[in-house]
A and B are shown apart, each in its own frame.
Chain A
């Protein structure tokens, strides 16, 4: 059972435009969400996170929106740059007794930003 879903395997956008990556989750216990960027044969790089007590978090060109009622979050990248081309993973964790550090990942979305 996939608890975190990224339904778009790929997304292509023009340089300078907005990239919107989407993620849905099913586990209502998830209360912390993160986005990572990953290049092949490298570890994921942390981009931005959001707690379930917020509905928006911004960091530079990256903004994450959380809609708890819809169990949906999205990552907006504005403006998109060719260097943003990578696989983006959505991840979630639950504040469960033993540990907050078990991340459940989506399958990823390959973003291609065309010059």
Chain B
């Protein structure tokens, strides 16, 4: 089976712009979670989607949003980018009967 894929791998944006990141889960996995990794805060949970519904959300401002499509692919969007949004954004997928999460390679976002 192919693993979790994320596009793009690298992205450079300017403060105030918005960005959309994409994630394709492992085939058959319906749960997709997003995490942010920064040197200061470590790995932090953003949100989780299952069957196109957000089931759980972390403590991030409303500028961070996501969605999931009927094929389980997911996107996350960050609006009005700030310098502090520079991070590695990771997507993970899980199957219905397991709590193990499998991560993609991440998207490295740099905000200048």
> A residues touching B (Cβ–Cβ < 8 Å)?
32, 34, 36, 41-46, 49, 89, 91, 93, 98-108
Query: What 3 A-B pairs come out closest when comparing CB atoms?
Result: A43-B103, A105-B43, A99-B56
- Give the CA-CA distance A44 to B99 in the complex, in Å: 15
Q: Are B102 and A103 in contact (CB under 8 A)?
A: no
Cβ proximity bits B35-61 to A, threshold 8 Å, 1 near / 0 not: 100000011110010100001101000
Q: Which of B45, B50, B101 has the most CB of A within 10 A?
A: B101
Number of interface residues of B (CB under 8 A): 27
Q: If A41-B88, A41-B106, A43-B105 touch, does A102 touch B94 (CB 8 Å cutoff)?
A: no
Q: Are A105 and B108 in contact (CB under 8 A)?
A: no
Q: In the complex, how many residue pairs between chain A and chain B have their CB atoms under 8 Å apart? A: 67
Docked complex: B7-47 residues within 8 A CB-CB of A: 31, 33, 35, 42-45
Smallest Cβ distance from A111 to chain B, in angstroms?
A: 17
What does DSSP make chain B's interface, helix, strand, loop or mixed?
Answer: strand
> B residues touching A (Cβ–Cβ < 8 Å)?
4, 6, 31, 33, 35, 42-45, 48, 50, 55-56, 58, 88, 90, 92, 94, 99-106, 108
Q: Are B33 and A103 in contact (CB under 8 A)?
A: yes
Q: If A41-B88, A43-B4, A107-B42 touch, does A102 touch B48 (CB 8 Å cutoff)?
A: yes
Complex contacts, B104 vs chain A, CB 8 Å: 43
- Give the CA-CA distance A102 to B56 in the complex, in Å: 7
Complex contacts, A43 vs chain B, CB 8 Å: 4, 6, 90, 92, 103-106
Q: Are A102 and B45 in contact (CB under 8 A)?
A: yes
Smallest Cβ distance from B2 to chain A, in angstroms?
A: 14
Complex contacts, A49 vs chain B, CB 8 Å: 99-100
Since A43-B90, A101-B48 are in contact, a sample of 16 more A-B pairs with Cβ atoms closer than 8 Å, ordered by chain A residue number, is: A34-B99, A41-B106, A43-B6, A43-B105, A43-B106, A46-B100, A98-B55, A101-B33, A101-B50, A101-B56, A101-B94, A102-B56, A103-B33, A103-B43, A104-B45, A105-B35
Our pick among A46, A89, A93, A98 for the contact of B43 (Cβ within 8 Å) is A89
Complex contacts, B55 vs chain A, CB 8 Å: 98-99, 101
Q: If A102-B58, A105-B42 touch, does A46 touch B101 (CB 8 Å cutoff)?
A: yes
